[in-house]
Amino acid sequence: MVNIAAVKSNLMIYLTRRERFCSAHRMFREDWSDEENFRVYGKCSNPNWHGHNYILWVTVKGDQSPDNGFVININILKEIILRNVISKLDHKNINLEVDFMKGKVATTENLAIAIWNKLKQPVEKEGATLHCIKIEETENNSIEYYG
Amino acid sequence: MVNIAAVKSNLMIYLTRRERFCSAHRMFREDWSDEENFRVYGKCSNPNWHGHNYILWVTVKGDQSPDNGFVININILKEIILRNVISKLDHKNINLEVDFMKGKVATTENLAIAIWNKLKQPVEKEGATLHCIKIEETENNSIEYYG
Amino acid sequence: MVNIAAVKSNLMIYLTRRERFCSAHRMFREDWSDEENFRVYGKCSNPNWHGHNYILWVTVKGDQSPDNGFVININILKEIILRNVISKLDHKNINLEVDFMKGKVATTENLAIAIWNKLKQPVEKEGATLHCIKIEETENNSIEYYG
Amino acid sequence: MVNIAAVKSNLMIYLTRRERFCSAHRMFREDWSDEENFRVYGKCSNPNWHGHNYILWVTVKGDQSPDNGFVININILKEIILRNVISKLDHKNINLEVDFMKGKVATTENLAIAIWNKLKQPVEKEGATLHCIKIEETENNSIEYYG
Amino acid sequence: MVNIAAVKSNLMIYLTRRERFCSAHRMFREDWSDEENFRVYGKCSNPNWHGHNYILWVTVKGDQSPDNGFVININILKEIILRNVISKLDHKNINLEVDFMKGKVATTENLAIAIWNKLKQPVEKEGATLHCIKIEETENNSIEYYG
Amino acid sequence: MVNIAAVKSNLMIYLTRRERFCSAHRMFREDWSDEENFRVYGKCSNPNWHGHNYILWVTVKGDQSPDNGFVININILKEIILRNVISKLDHKNINLEVDFMKGKVATTENLAIAIWNKLKQPVEKEGATLHCIKIEETENNSIEYYG
């Protein structure tokens, strides 16, 4: 008997890829004074910036390809994430240098939504569906967004 | 262009805070003999207690505040968890000293439900919704409760 | 007042057990040449095999037993996983030695589906419902399957 | 050419085995009042106990066996640790039930020294040398002892 | 028999405390051009900063106090680290805001040496000896310094 | 004042780089029967192979360069490890495909010694000294070798 890639169809599979980026940021609204920003955002509003080792989990879902058994080729997913997200965030200042965060407060909430918007179409082009963006800012704080 | 805290509304965001507590406990029913308790709960029923480094993840969900971009201010969430839960469990005996566990078997299942009940209202008061209580008892065993 | 195991009924609880297995595998279709397999599966198609420390999380859900407060006795769940899954995968070659993977490409996707099928009935026999099979192949790649 | 177990001799190798135990304890001196104990040991002196998921790393060192290439057979080391240490600590009260901790304050420091003393001879009987006992009490606090 | 804090004297014990700080930094020499800095420090020289979740392990060694059994009271050690190091680094820009890093390239090597110099005396004042400063910059890169 | 890379000289710094590789292996001596191999190496001698996600930590030590403040440029160290070690082990069969393991039993002990021998000279060429090779085979078992 020859082996085949996927035994049954119509089975929803969830695949998660982890990537990391190290960035500087500051949480603040430009139309607020430093004092107002500090009152709301605390030490995270430090005008001289601070930074994090962000951990990003991208979960896509879909049916298995009858040809190769994949929901999505993980090397292609990795490449999509690196090109659209990591290359623009890693070792950058999120407030000053990341085009898709311009005009937004650099919260992890806004980051998750912006990354969702960057990845939705490229993932769909590969025949899968974007399911969840999870970002861990510190080992105690994380955000999930499901679109 | 001035930056704003939240770009779109009606986007459900999930925020998770991790906290930890170290407690003693014993799993047993008072109306059972030690032998019966041992048969059901095994070494976890040891009459002289044992303990764990419990890890707690509290997930809340909601829309972003148009003002500050938060689902909930994470420092307020942290304070809610510390005051209502951690301060009552950390370095305590769950069976003997924790009011919200009185009369219940000290399983992680019951702990998760009790913590849910302690956090539901304070989280709602802040405009967010409690989504999940996850407790890891050991690196191999964990419980989730969604209300 | 006597303590009781579970205070309220009809509360859905999710319980997760983590287990591990170390196996060799190769991703390839028998009806493809080594070149075709390499083009699709890359270094994972290496004819001399490679291997992983797989991490498996089995999540079951259900109501608490009014008797002992458990969704499922975790020692019974552990024993079910060891007998049906781990004992057949650990320190084995997934392609050559695992009966429930015969004739399938040894992807993590197919592994998750096969493990689901092995655990569904034994978990139900214990009065709980299988909810999720999650497998981490490397710290960056994981699969979830919900049936 | 036949393969051989160890290529060169007189090479010092360090092998580490990780084991875990979940115990209750209390830090206090019997000849001090509860107030004095609280002043020195803080919440760790809680008279109703608390507990931890302790992680233990046992490091042994030695030359490789020319026969099998091992410093020590890791299954034998595991069995030595389980029989002499884990079986006496896991799901126990360190103050009340652990013979080798009787009469000592249940600090992680004293635990590390006591475990060293329990393991030194059995490890030497197997031809290796005990090098280090490391115990992690919480993810932020750990102790090492080298004899 | 009364329990006593420490059973034997002259036993060297190593105690490690973990703390964390989130900071922005840039690796560069002021007397070099941006191009020269980029050639040596790569993306870590980004003029707009980047940042990390640094993890710090401070190891002290010493004999146990016959009174309380401690090498050092871990709450005092924690307070020493917070006051002298974490409060000056956390949510700060290492290049612009940290007095003990002024005039130095913000490498993890220099950070480890500077933290050693800040902690040596306060630790000795408590009767212990500073043994090692370990800093993890990312999960793949870390530095240790032993004085 | 211009900042300089390293403030003092003759300070020994230890730098550790983590890398990972996923390989198949089998522990056995060719001159022993399968039964003898099983008696000594247990399930690790499975003739159809098994595999691991090995984690490798390479620690080098040395003085800081007065020019750039590095013990060794971590990108150069990474490249040395990838070229000499990871590229030869990752997604390979350690027994059949790794030249520097030919004729040796595929224990983690022998792997650590062999990796030491592959890295010693390239690290010295960069002006640093190889200090330690640590390999984690599973989360419970690891080996260290210091030359």
pLDDT tens track, chain B, 147 positions: 567 787 666 789 999 999 999 999 999 999 999 999 999 999 999 999 999 999 999 999 999 999 999 999 999 999 999 999 999 999 999 999 999 999 999 999 999 999 999 999 999 999 999 999 999 999 999 999 999
**Where residue F2 falls among pLDDT bands split at 50, 70, 90?**
confident
- The topology under which CATH files domain E4-145 is Tetrahydropterin Synthase; Chain A (3.30.479)
Cα–Cα distance, C147 to C126 (Å, whole number):
18
- Which residues 6+ apart lie within 8 Å of D140 measured at CB? E17, E18, E19
A and B touch with 3+ CB pairs <8 Å, answer: yes
Task: Provide the shortest C-alpha distance from residue E36 to chain A (in Å).
Answer: 18
Q: Please, which pLDDT band fits residue C7 given cuts at 50, 70 and 90? A: low
Q: What is the pLDDT of residues A90-119, one digit of tens each?
A: 999 999 999 999 999 999 999 999 999 999
Active site residues of F: 44, 91, 137
Q: What is the pLDDT of residues A41-89, one digit of tens each?
A: 999 999 999 999 999 999 999 999 999 999 999 999 999 999 999 999 9
- Which tokens go with B116? 């849910």
Residue A36 has pLDDT above 90, yes or no: yes
pLDDT band at C1 (very low <50, low <70, confident <90, very high): low
Inter-chain CB proximity C15 and B143 less than 8 Å? yes
Please tell me the predicted confidence (pLDDT) of residue D33. Answer: 94
Q: Tell me the C-alpha to C-alpha distance, in Å, between residue D87 and each of B26, B49, C64, D131, E91.
A: 18, 15, 30, 22, 45
pLDDT at site E2: 66
Note whether D110 contacts E75, CB cutoff 8 Å. Answer: no
Catalytic residues of E: 44, 91, 137
Percent of chain E with pLDDT over 70: 97
Q: What is the nearest CA distance from C94 to chain F, expressed in angstroms?
A: 9
Interface test with B, best of C1, C3, C4, C56 (most B CBs within 10 A): C3
- The secondary structure of chain A in percent helix, strand, coil, rounded to multiples of 5, reads 35, 30, 35
Least confident of A3-7, A36-40, C124-128, E97-101: A3-7
Distance, in Å, from the CA atom of B47 to the CA atom of C109, rounded to the nearest integer, reads: 45
> C33: closest CA among C50, C49, C47, C48?
C47
Is residue A109 within 8 Å of B70, Cβ to Cβ? yes
Q: Which chains touch E (3 or more CB pairs under 8 A)?
A: A, D, F
Q: Does F42 touch chain D (CB under 8 A)?
A: yes
pLDDT class for F3, splitting at 50, 70, 90? Answer: confident
pTM: 0.96
Q: Which tens digit of pLDDT belongs to each residue from D42-92?
A: 999 999 999 999 999 999 999 999 899 999 999 999 999 999 999 999 999
Domain boundaries, chain E: 4-145
Decide if C46 touches F, using CB distance below 8 A: yes
Predicted local confidence at residue A56, as pLDDT: 98
Please give the Cα distance from C24 to F96 (Å, whole number): 14
What DSSP assignment string belongs to E14-67? EEEEEEEEEEEE----TTS-HHHHHHHHGGGG-TT-EEEEEEEEEEEEEPPPTT
Average pLDDT of chain E, as a whole number: 95
**pLDDT tens profile F16-58:** 999 999 999 999 999 999 999 999 999 999 999 999 999 999 9
- Per-residue pLDDT, E7: 63
- pLDDT tens, residue by residue, E36-81: 999 999 999 999 999 999 999 999 999 999 899 999 999 999 999 9
Would you call C22 an interface residue with chain F, using a CB distance cutoff of 8 Å?
Answer: yes
Closest Cβ–Cβ partner in A42, A105, A144 for B5: A105
From chain F, the residues in CB contact with C93 under 8 A are 46, 48-50
**Cβ separation of E18 and D141 shorter than 8 Å?**
yes
Contacts of F69 in chain E (CB under 8 A): 104-105, 107, 109-110
Average pLDDT of the residues in D111-136: 98
